Amino acid sequence: MKLFRHTTDLPPDLRGLSVALGNFDGVHRGHRAVIRAAQDHAQALGAPSAVLTFEPHPRSLFRPEDPPFRLTPFRIKARLIEAMGVDALIVVPFDRPFSQRSAEAFVTEVLVRDLGARHVVAGYDFVFGHNRGGDMALLSRMGAAAGFAVTEVKPVGDAAGTVFSSTKVRELLRDGRPDAAADILGHPFEIEGRVEHGDKRGRTIGFPTANVELGEYLRPRFGVYAVLAGIDEGPRTVWRKGVANLGLRPTVGGMTERLEVHLFDFDGDLYGRHLRIQLHAFIRPEMKFAGLDALKAQIAADAEAGRTILG
């Protein structure tokens, strides 16, 4: 997959593409339906397939005071989209000047002039342009006039009628239901980050941890989770089982939200390395203990529960 952080001066062999439009935070099963539709039309046309997305997420520009909410910061979003086999990922820098561009200008300047799009695919609720002035109806009308086809992907959901959406995934994670969130995502919810030096208190009680700052990620329910942790080993990722505490660590007076991961039967050095942590099951809420002995006993119980859950 080729990555472009602009829409102008793209290689000639990308013109005439079939492109999926959206924020795609989470790259959930509904998003995948949009991307697959663009791929299908690309194959029928003998054209390249692409995803056009926006970074940072528009919500970060318009509502900067909101708590962190991202399901897939750009690095992970790009990796998930690449795994689907698209030819190109085109990233539009979403800044104040771009946000003030009209919906009509987005179509004529980006889709027509810059991309030469032959087919455009988006979800039923896709809106774009200044003050969200464009929708799928406008896109279809302008496409008919400009010579590109438009496909609107209808809501995708499960047998119970739940529509797959990023909003629903966030709700489930805040409720401590990562397994249900994974059903919508089509993959486990994952937090990735560099392992930082902590206070090393875990080593003193027999449970060393790898500490990862949460950054712009959504904060799932604070507590202890059964996890799989992916460690980069050259070109491959090695997955190890463990448990993780997500929260403030009230027993030791923690002030910073943090993800602390204890890997079973592992004593290697992870400092400075990237770690991928998949939340698989919620074990218990975060709580404050009377002292380190009580905390140690509970961590031992959590680890046993994690081993049972993960098999």
Mind telling me the catalytic residues? 260
Q: Quote the CA–CA distance of 66 and 87 in Å, as a whole number.
A: 34
Q: Quote the CA–CA distance of 307 and 247 in Å, as a whole number.
A: 21
Helix (H, G, I), strand (E, B) or coil at 109: helix
Q: Tokens for 83?
A: 């795994």
Q: Quote the CA–CA distance of 171 and 307 in Å, as a whole number.
A: 27
- With b for 16 or more beta-carbon neighbours within 10 A and e for fewer, the 35-67 pattern comes to bbbbbebbeeeebbbbbbbbbbbeeeeeeeeee
CB 280 within 8 A of CB 228: yes
Q: Tokens for 197?
A: 């030096």
